[in-house]
Amino acid sequence: MVERPRRRLLPFDPWHLFLAPLSLLMLLPMVWMVVTSLETEAQTFHFPPILWPGTLRFENYLTVIRGSAFGTWFWNTTVVTVAIVLSNLVLCTLASYAFARIRFLGRGVVYLLLLATLMVPIQVVLIPTFLIVKELGLLDHLGALIVPHLASVFGIFMLTQFFRTLPVELEEAARIDGASRLSILLRIVVPLSLPALATLAVIQFMWTWNEFLWPLVTILTNQDAFTLQLGLATFQGSHQTQWHFVAAANIMSMLPMLILFLVAQRYFVRGIASQGLKG
């Protein structure tokens, strides 16, 4: 930024006048949720809204956990997400390394084919994928959520781009030393790629944790296989006027993602910014 000499009308940079209210606006929905989750039912129906409930009813959270299948939903989502993230890390790393560094027959064609699938919008594949999952007998189970996502094209694309930026001399030196492809991948490439892998993990985590449409479509009757988003939606439907409970459920469902974000901000931002570079 060019430092321009200016007469100071205010004791601070004028942009604060825009950024501060904006930040408030962005955080308001969540803050308001927290406040609501600590109120009594009667307090939620107060208009004008009560901004500070006085006593904080943390019991609301316990009521939600005990009174619904929240624990199951949370567990299911965790299992599904961890499975998918781990699987992606392994499978996408293997595949991307091959696409980036190994010359094999059909490499170009297969890569293009995979990329082409990125262009196809979800509603086109929704119904047929449903049918395939049904044929495989995975419907109504967590398997329906996990198996189709074990490898993601986005992950392959991202890692392939990244691997290509690593200096190839390191790997060539290892080959001359007699290392196998796999050990080059594990001992040299992966240690150098930790930031990219972290980024993939974090982005994949977020998508899987927040996914709604696919669980909605594949988990039909088996309430034990509900994910958090599905459960949350149902909960809101059945407790429509009990906003204090709904808010508590909502906050609990957001917490893991919020914590992950605060801890791994850098990777989220990097993941998203890199999409801009891919252009």
Site for other proteins in 179-198 (CB under 8 A): 181-182
Question: Is 215 among the residues that bind other proteins (CB under 8 A)?
Answer: no
Q: How many residues bind other proteins (CB under 8 A)?
A: 104
Q: Is 65 exposed, middle or buried (0-12, 13-18, 19+ CB in 10 A)?
A: middle
Phi and psi, residue 20, nearest 5° = -65, -55
- For other proteins, the binding residue among 64, 84, 250, 267 (CB under 8 A) is 250
Residues 23-52 close enough to bind other proteins by CB under 8 A: 23-30, 32-33, 36, 44-49
- For other proteins, the binding residue among 56, 238, 265, 266 (CB under 8 A) is 265
* Cα–Cα distance, 118 to 111 (Å, whole number): 11
Q: At how many degrees (to 10) do helices 194-210 and 153-165 cross?
A: 170
- Which residues, at least 6 apart from 177, have a Cβ–Cβ distance to it below 8 Å? none
Nearer to other proteins, 55 or 241 (CB): 241
Distance in Å, CB of 77 to other proteins, minimum: 10
**Cβ atoms 39, 245 nearer than 8 A:** no
Mark residues 53-92: x for contact with other proteins by CB under 8 A, - for none: --------------------------------------xx
Between the alpha carbon of residue 22 and those of residues 17, 28, 63, the distances in Å are 9, 10, 34
Nearer to other proteins, 47 or 52 (CB): 47
